[in-house]
Chains A and B, each alone.
Chain A
């Protein structure tokens, strides 16, 4: 074989190898924990997360959904109580973070339920008891299935995305259906921003991950009211390396709060009762059109 042909063949083999993409770092984006027992086990909730389930059985429904790849995913619909202070049919679709499963986020959905909203939370594929394994596309498909379910019950929907869940929330809002409002907490800008944060070098997110996670790109396509919260002491999704990029790309109406002393996972706890006021005021103003 002539040297030029050898060189051409060598690079052709390399190109084929690269096209196969033997590996990506997507798995490192997800930290699911499978659940062998039942959801909301009192001991697990208390010992692992310091949480007690306060939602009465009469207002709690265990929901089974089928994602687009036929895998079963599971969630809970928390119905606002009859004595709710805001007796309107507003449902918050809660897209949780990258870690563990619904149990970890139960305290958070209870905060929202106590404010008087219906809340739907679901586990992505591979999380909790949901079948399959997580991926960027699987998360988006699961979010779509969850949205379809919530739409079957109500048409006044607010998307809430925390951390990884913000990618799902912005995807639903930009690519599927605008909600009445969008709330993002501790949202990363994109996989690309995470890559730059880690490696300092300017490389597209596609280089390492297949997941199409890009809040900056999608936020500019969302016209609904937006409320963003981010801890100034967040040591994982560092405020100045993520928040400004999303915020600057977002279009009006938008509002935000940078929370002094809050890290990645304690914005509601640091805010305390102010968290309730902020969420309620935002939804009253932007969804119910009531000026506080």
Chain B
């Protein structure tokens, strides 16, 4: 049996680089912890289609549509802002803060509406000039039931070619939670804590 693992930062990739005032981008990403999906060990596919727009040179707006949720008959969206706090200087990495609201709704049932605030902090080092980057940070999602806080630290790489970008991330979902015995048998769970997964994303800037 598999069940989607929404968790913190599930499905999305970090917006590590400011997009610039007036610019926009579209990205498609998929992420999830590694589990047996139809008999194959792979990241549970939780896909998000996201639009970003540069409000100014340091602040981006984003909104996303959670495609996997749609496939299951639910509306899932997220909206938020990314503030790029400062640029890389020597060994000090560039730093950014992201705040989002995830809103989910199962059609035909008003009481099913759920909203989760999520924040992320991430640091970035440019590679090979400023075209590519390595980055790391953590998502934090809050909810009204136990566990009240779900974190997901991650490490990622961004490759840019022309208007296109490719992101690859490794994430450790909910490392504070005991996942030794769960309905889903997560395949990578260091010390029986949380679940490790992977994310990929492609984006096009215009």
Contacts and interface: CB of A to CB of B under 8 A. Distances in A.
Interface of A: 14-15, 17-25, 28-29, 194-204, 206-208, 235-238
B20 interface: no
B72 A202 contact: no
Contact of A18 (B1, B2, B5, B75): B75
Interface centre among A195, A202, A236 (most CB of B within 10 A): A202
Contacts of B183: 194, 197-198, 236-237
A28 B3 contact: yes
A200 B104 contact: no
A202 B143 contact: yes
Interface of B: 1-7, 65, 69-75, 104, 106-107, 109, 111-112, 114, 116, 141, 143-145, 147, 150, 174, 177, 180-184
B109 A14 contact: no
Contact of B116 (A17, A21, A201): A201
Chain B interface, DSSP helix/strand/loop, else mixed: loop
A24 B72 contact: yes
Contacts of A14: 65, 70, 75
Contacts, number: 96
A236 B182 CA distance: 6
A17 B76 CA distance: 13
B117 to A, nearest CB: 13
Contact of A200 (B7, B73, B111, B181): B7
Given A18-B73, A21-B72, A201 B3 contact: no
A199 B3 contact: yes
A18 B174 contact: no
B4 A208 contact: yes
A22 B72 CA distance: 6
A71 to B, nearest CB: 24
Contacts of A29: 1
